[in-house]
Amino acid sequence: MQVNYINPVLDSLVNVLGTMAAMKVRPGKPSIKTEQSARGDVTGVMSMFGPAARGSIAITFTAPVILELAQRMLRETYPGINEMVVDLAGEITNMVIGGAKAKLEEQGHKFDMSLPTLVAGANHIVMHKTQGKTVIMPFETDYVSFFVELCFE
Amino acid sequence: MQVNYINPVLDSLVNVLGTMAAMKVRPGKPSIKTEQSARGDVTGVMSMFGPAARGSIAITFTAPVILELAQRMLRETYPGINEMVVDLAGEITNMVIGGAKAKLEEQGHKFDMSLPTLVAGANHIVMHKTQGKTVIMPFETDYVSFFVELCFE
């Protein structure tokens, strides 16, 4: 797990939510994941492949955060998570990873990206099957928190 | 979505569960997914990257199936889905995609594989963000059914 893969993802996330949704997010303290602690309601999963490393990244939204993002980005108020909301989580995942990929390429790391896979289900947990360590990053917003998990090997 | 990417995945799944767990599975009729109908309790998600196509594959296990597999493959009886069971789902996903990759390479399709990401949570649904279509394949066992979803573009 190379730490220089993490920051472009985090910067991109802050940038996407700031510019597309005017939502300020405060990155918390990253930690090595030792248990399946991040529970969420909608998760976007993407993989990155490069000659030097491969990794997977999961952005796990809690319902209050993604519903607020739907209101800000789609101008729609939904009572709960539906197909539109999941689709939005996929768009956000795409934009975040796309931004990170561009930044990593500037730094000389070339990556391909997978199609995002979305998972919806109340209170689910995400795990990564990797030899490497998984870093979990909490993000605080005014609408409770959400999580990004990254693993590279 | 090329249909010749599907069969190696399905053959590999039947082969892995047959040889590793002596579990016979009967592939059902594949269909183009139009709604988020496949609900499961543990899902393994992997991506494949090749020069001609990229795709994602999700194997969504229902609890009765993966708990029976745990009993057969780990010789353990678990009352519900725990970390060991999720890990087993990851191993199976790895083996299935690894077998499919080998078969696709024999056919001249070269692919890289991502690390699997596992999702656990009762009754969750999986969606794919792709321009291509998603094919959903039900599999019947003596312990109710489970699902494989594939999308390539």
Task: Give yes or no for B18 touching A (CB within 8 A).
Answer: no
**A39 in Cβ contact with A136 (< 8 Å):** no
- In chain A, residues with a C-beta closer than 8 Å to the C-beta of B56 are 114-115, 117
Q: How far is CA A116 from CA A55, B14, B40, B58, in A?
A: 13, 26, 19, 11
Q: Is the pLDDT of residue B4 over 80?
A: no
Average confidence (pLDDT) over A96-105: 92
Helix (H) or strand (E) holding A8, with range, is: helix A6-21
How far apart are alpha carbons B16 and B96 in whole angstroms?
6
Q: What are the tens digits of pLDDT across the range B30-87?
A: 888 776 567 899 999 998 888 878 888 999 999 999 999 999 999 999 999 999 999 9
Among A32-41, A95-104, A108-117, the minimum mean pLDDT is found in A32-41
Res. A1 pLDDT band, cuts 50 70 90:
very low
Q: Helix (H, G, I), strand (E, B), or coil: what is residue A64?
A: helix
Contacts of B134 (CB under 8 A, 6+ apart): B32, B33, B127, B128, B149, B150, B151
- Prediction pTM value: 0.89
Question: Is there a contact between B119 and A86 if contact means CB atoms under 8 Å apart?
Answer: no
Cβ-based contacts under 8 A for chains A and B: 124
pLDDT 10s digits, A120-151: 999 999 888 877 788 888 899 887 788 988 88
Beta bridge partners, B117, equal A128, B45
Residue A106 burial class via C-beta count within 10 angstroms: exposed 0-12, middle 13-18, buried 19 and up: exposed
B120-129 pLDDT per residue, tens: 999 999 888 8
The ipTM estimated for the assembled molecules is 0.84
